[in-house]
A = this chain, B = another copy of it.
Amino acid sequence: MALDPSRTVAELKDLRELTGDENGAQRLAWTETWEQARGWLRELVADTGAKESIDAAGNQWFTLPGASKRAVLIGGHIDSVPNGGWLDGALNVVAGVEVLRRIASDGKPPVTLRLVNWADEEGARFGRSLFGSSAAAGSMSDQDELRALTDREGLALPDALVAHGVDLDKALDARKELESAAAYLELHIEQGPVLESLGLPLGVVQGTFGVERHRITWRGQAAHAGSTPMDKRRDALAGAAKLALEIREIARRTGGGAVCTSGGVVCHPGIVTSVVETAEQLLDQRDLNAHRLAMMLAEAKAASERFAGEESIDVEWEKIWSIEPILFDDTLLGLCEESIREVVGMSHRLPSGPLHDAAEVARAGVPTVMMFVQSLRGLSHTKLEDTREDHLEQSVAALDRLTSKTVDWVAEGGGR
């Protein structure tokens, strides 16, 4: 059976019909609609002869045995955010099915091929993303926090899991699934504007950004907007305003795709007749290089101290969260680039701002690469998320070539 990328597009539309509504995709993890999507996937794969198994963390595996047990993995996630898009996560899985079909029809492969549908990548219901992949990677270390999570209706995460056959206490048993993994491949929509702005359908993902996420509190003095002369003010908003502008210069000086964002400022008392006493500012900094990321954070901190001095206000930093950059495998980056060039002529290397299951797998030591397909207007997590159909078909063809090249590489002793 020849690869038919147009079938992938048709199947994605079927999935949209089956599990979406007028507001978008509704495949929230650990729900009936999600189970329905998993059942639909099961039927789709059945013809290929790949054998299904659900691991201890609820991840859905389809295994096509090869001459060697060493396995090339293709991963994605069929769960979506509420009112989500039709492609985020699902493209990877459905494109993987088409590749599985093609390889199965070619006869027993030299190495094992496995398609994995990770459980609860989005974390949209309980606020914890990458559930299934972090269990498989063994990086899940917050079991106590997970036990305490509840959804909007007050249902606890462990209870939601049990209804889908998962025992939270045993979720880490999913680690054994990666024991035979030699390489991991993931196709995903970009969810950003870079490829569209370059006019390119496909790109090679170098890795996922490291992230520094902080809350910065500026403390000045509330004072009457009418009776306090300009030179007598200690205006907390002035510190936040200066930093909101300065972090953009820091990102530009750093270059290489580094980004810094101030997602908001909350002012107290926040009334028109008072100088701002307290401003709480959110900061998010990301880069692919750990050293440069640390430098950006240090520069922002130094700038904030300078601004606090200039404005006679106080500044305090509190870390919300951080993660190291995760770099993908050099050989696989090269294979991915070759595959893209063969299909569309030109490729581009770019980092991934959002985290993905691929980052968890890479952290576990499995050589990993991701391929991005262009997103229209950079939109995702909305029903407006979209990608041109010719680009979707090209992404399936490129994933197919990447899989073949990776199978050959692993068969020759490459990978882990």
Contacts and interface: CB of A to CB of B under 8 A. Distances in A.
Interface of A: 190-194, 197, 209, 211, 213, 223-230, 232, 237-238, 240-242, 244-245, 248, 251-252, 257-267, 269-276, 282-284, 286, 320, 352-354, 378, 380
A276 B263 contact: yes
| Most central of A227, A262, A380 by chain B CB within 10 Å | A227
B263 A271 contact: yes
Contact of A230 (B252, B273, B283, B284): B252
Number of copies: 2
Nearest to A254: B230
Contacts of A213: 272
6 contacts: A192-B224, A193-B228, A225-B286, A226-B354, A229-B257, A263-B267
Contacts of A197: 232
A352 B226 contact: yes
Contacts of A244: 237-238, 241
A232 B378 contact: yes
Given A232-B378, A238-B248, A353 B264 contact: no
B273 A224 contact: no
A9 B320 CA distance: 52
B378 A227 contact: yes
A251 B233 CA distance: 13
Contact of A259 (B193, B228, B264, B284): B228
B259 A230 contact: yes
Given A197-B232, A238-B248, A266-B270, A225 B257 contact: no
A197 B192 CA distance: 53
A271 B264 CA distance: 6
